[in-house]
Amino acid sequence: MRYTSYFIPTHKEVPSDAEVVSHQLMVRAGMIRKLTSGTYTYLPAGLRAIRKVEAIIREEMNRAGAIEILMPAVQPAELWQESGRWEHYGRELLRFRDRHDREACFGPTHEEVITDLVRKEIHSYKQMPINLYQIQTKFRDEIRPRFGIMRAREFIMKDAYSFDVDEEGANRSYEVMYEAYSRIFRRCGLRFRAVEADTGTIGGRYSHEFMVLAETGEDQIVNCTACSYAANLERAEVRPNDAPPVPGSDPLGPLTAAATPGMRTVEEVAAFLSVSPNQIVKTLVLVADDHPVAVLIRGDHDLNEAKLRNLLGAQTVELASERVVEETTAAPMGFAGPVGLKAKIVADNAIKTMRNFVTGGNQKDLHHVNVNLERDFRVDQFGDLRVITPADRCPRCGRPIEFGRGIEVGHIFKLGTKYSQALNAVFLNREGKESPIIMGCYGIGVGRTVAAAIEQNHDADGIVFPIPIAPFEVTILPLQMHDLEVMEAADTIHEGLTGAGIDTLLDDRHERPGFKFNDADLLGIPIRVTVGAKGLKNGQVEIKLRSETETRFVPLDHAASFVKDKVETLYDSIE
């Protein structure tokens, strides 16, 4: 491809709304342009990277036995009403009416549509297992679109749905997708980790997120330094007996009221009473599906709302309003405590081993000291309710854990019968009995994968694309555009490489060498061939990898074959 007959509008300025480096670089390298908040045009270089990711996804999905289809983007409200999500999905769902006044939405995901298809087409155990997928545009009216195409409103997703006759088959389908996803991200040349995750609004019971490891990632992940355990911070389990030993002594001291004027936070109370935060139990009032519940968490720990929701089996949990706190505890915010509290009390496991701790006194400007479980109050239910900390140990093997950051590029779910039951997608099993189909669903953010790749692979000069998803594999820079010999040599190499099926960009712009070097670095093309008058005098051209600093000179006659070998080596280092 000749630069002058193509369209890669690069520029120097960093766009003012681009907070993260991948967004900045994708705009500067001429890969994307914003239309409105969260919607982007993919320019040719951006589209090429996206198409490469899609090609890898297609190959691996097909290899895993999944079958490609394409469903409508606009979906009728009726299906969402049947599943119950018309009410529950919230404002991320873009809703509208057609000319007949029928309600519809732009699909943020396709469980309803695929389940409708399958309930009409699949009736017998003989037609399963089956896995259907598509690569398609989704719309989610994200509350805060940001980071360019990483969290857009309109974006390309690969979504797949599996259908099985029993739990065992569904587990197998899940495993097959787990393996396919691992191959996909490996083949994209990314460093990633599959982590256990919460299930969010799509529902279901079990899921893994595929995280591209990057310090700038929005998600915090935890992994064991010894075994294979890895989880999203939101989900990471805490070992019940892992709460580090707490200062505080037997025998139990007398329950005492202490005046704490204006002291509301753990830090204020700890400083005022000269205790450490881990001797304080904070009492948080939350509302779980309209019912207030008091949650006890050690002062230096944080509540994990997803765990609380799961423990209570609630649809929603949220912090109570000031009014509800006052009604529940008879005290202003900041002084809630379990002693004498007439509300359901749940507590984190770490509370079990505490003695003689400090809690709120359910009265303005009052705390209790030497509070003890059983003697002074009762807990209705204990559970793992807190966010894991670096001081905790691996929930599987007990060895040290480490924290890192990642970008979620893929997510696989076991859905069970949530949608098949709601939409009545049933089949006749071997015994001739009617039974709901068991489903799984599997998503990959295609654009987000490209952005995450850049977030993980860049330097001060620009993108350093892994070769499998780079818009071009090789770029050729002729330095003296008016020098016929230089242009001829550049053309020859260009033809040789293009003929060999290598994606090559010949920068034939009449620009200064420095300008071209900068753009080549910005765009992150893995292999650069520089053709200059000086080198040609010795019959040589210069070759450099974007990921390395050394350059080397190669005889012009061998340049194409040398580059071909390099391309292969780069691919081999990945697969």
Residue in 425, 487, 548 with CA at minimum distance from that of residue 117: 425
User: Is residue 445 within the footprint of ligand ATP (CB under 6 A)?
Assistant: yes
Residue 534 CB, nearest approach to ligand ATP (Å): 46
Residue 134 CB, nearest approach to ligand ATP (Å): 13
User: Is residue 531 within the footprint of ligand ATP (CB under 6 A)?
Assistant: no
Instruction: Count Cβ neighbours within 10 Å for each residue of 204-232 and write b for 16 or more, e otherwise.
Output: bebbbbbbbbbebbebbbbbbeeeebbbb
Residue 128 CB, nearest approach to ligand ATP (Å): 24
Helix axes 21-28, 446-456, angle to 10 degrees: 100
User: Is residue 140 within the footprint of ligand ATP (CB under 6 A)?
Assistant: yes
Strands (E), 384-526: 401-416, 426-428, 434-436, 438-445, 458-459, 462-463, 474-478, 504-506
Instruction: Count Cβ neighbours within 10 Å for each residue of 544-570 and write b for 16 or more, e otherwise.
Output: bbbeeeeeeebebeebbebbbebbeeb
User: Is residue 448 within the footprint of ligand ATP (CB under 6 A)?
Assistant: yes
Confirm if 343 and 328 have CB atoms less than 8 A apart: yes
Binder of ligand ATP out of 9, 72, 200, 247 (CB under 6 A): 200
By beta-carbon proximity to ligand ATP, the closer residue of 149 and 388 is 149
Q: Please give the size of the binding site for ligand ATP, defined by CB under 6 A.
A: 17
How far apart are the C-alpha atoms of 439 and 414, rounded to whole Å? 7
By beta-carbon proximity to ligand ATP, the closer residue of 317 and 451 is 451
User: Is residue 23 within the footprint of ligand ATP (CB under 6 A)?
Assistant: no
By beta-carbon proximity to ligand ATP, the closer residue of 29 and 202 is 202
User: Is residue 443 within the footprint of ligand ATP (CB under 6 A)?
Assistant: yes
Binder of ligand ATP out of 142, 166, 302, 461 (CB under 6 A): 142
Confirm if 125 and 430 have CB atoms less than 8 A apart: yes
Residue 240: half-sphere exposure toward Cβ, Cα within 13 Å: 4
User: Is residue 155 within the footprint of ligand ATP (CB under 6 A)?
Assistant: yes
| Site track 339-378 with ligand ATP (rule: CB under 6 A), x = hit | ----------------------------------------
| Residues of span 93-122 touching ligand ATP by CB under 6 A | 109
Confirm if 472 and 202 have CB atoms less than 8 A apart: no
By beta-carbon proximity to ligand ATP, the closer residue of 125 and 192 is 192
User: Is residue 412 within the footprint of ligand ATP (CB under 6 A)?
Assistant: no
> Which amino acid is present at 228?
S
Cα dihedral 5→7→12→15 (10° resolution): 170
Residue 438 CB, nearest approach to ligand ATP (Å): 19
User: Is residue 414 within the footprint of ligand ATP (CB under 6 A)?
Assistant: no
The CB-nearest residue to ligand ATP is 445
Binder of ligand ATP out of 393, 411, 516, 544 (CB under 6 A): 411
How far apart are the C-alpha atoms of 112 and 107, rounded to whole Å? 10
Stretch binding ligand ATP (CB under 6 A), from 20-28, 408-416, 469-477, 566-574:
408-416
By beta-carbon proximity to ligand ATP, the closer residue of 79 and 152 is 152
How far apart are the C-alpha atoms of 455 and 466, rounded to whole Å? 12
Residue 444 CB, nearest approach to ligand ATP (Å): 6
- What DSSP character marks residue 456? H
Binder of ligand ATP out of 23, 85, 151, 208 (CB under 6 A): 151
Is residue 319 within a helix (H) or strand (E), and if so which, with residue range?
Answer: strand 317-319
Residue 104 CB, nearest approach to ligand ATP (Å): 20
How far apart are the C-alpha atoms of 273 and 366, rounded to whole Å? 12
Binder of ligand ATP out of 53, 113, 157, 230 (CB under 6 A): 157
User: Is residue 461 within the footprint of ligand ATP (CB under 6 A)?
Assistant: no
Stretch binding ligand ATP (CB under 6 A), from 441-449, 467-475, 527-535, 546-554:
441-449
**What are the CA-CA distances from residue 473 to residues 2, 453, 526 (Å)?**
14, 15, 6
User: Is residue 468 within the footprint of ligand ATP (CB under 6 A)?
Assistant: no
Residue 107 CB, nearest approach to ligand ATP (Å): 12
How far apart are the C-alpha atoms of 148 and 32, rounded to whole Å? 9
Stretch binding ligand ATP (CB under 6 A), from 300-308, 445-453, 463-471, 494-502:
445-453
How far apart are the C-alpha atoms of 146 and 127, rounded to whole Å? 42
Stretch binding ligand ATP (CB under 6 A), from 16-24, 256-264, 344-352, 442-450:
442-450
Stretch binding ligand ATP (CB under 6 A), from 94-102, 327-335, 359-367, 444-452:
444-452
By beta-carbon proximity to ligand ATP, the closer residue of 116 and 234 is 234
User: Is residue 208 within the footprint of ligand ATP (CB under 6 A)?
Assistant: no
By beta-carbon proximity to ligand ATP, the closer residue of 238 and 412 is 412
**What are the CA-CA distances from residue 10 to residues 51, 222, 403, 508 (Å)?**
20, 38, 37, 15
Copy the structure tokens of residue 91: 């404002």
Residue in 372, 366, 302, 314 with CA at minimum distance from that of residue 344: 314
Instruction: Count Cβ neighbours within 10 Å for each residue of 72-99 and write b for 16 or more, e otherwise.
Output: eeebbbebbebbebbeebeeebbeeeee
User: Is residue 409 within the footprint of ligand ATP (CB under 6 A)?
Assistant: yes
Q: Say how many C-beta atoms besides its own lie within 10 A of residue 572's C-beta.
A: 8
Instruction: Count Cβ neighbours within 10 Å for each residue of 372-387 and write b for 16 or more, e otherwise.
Output: bbeebbebeebbbbbb
Residue 186 CB, nearest approach to ligand ATP (Å): 17
Residue 195 CB, nearest approach to ligand ATP (Å): 12
Binding site for ligand ATP (CB under 6 A): 109, 140, 142, 151-152, 155, 157, 200, 202, 408-411, 443, 445, 447-448
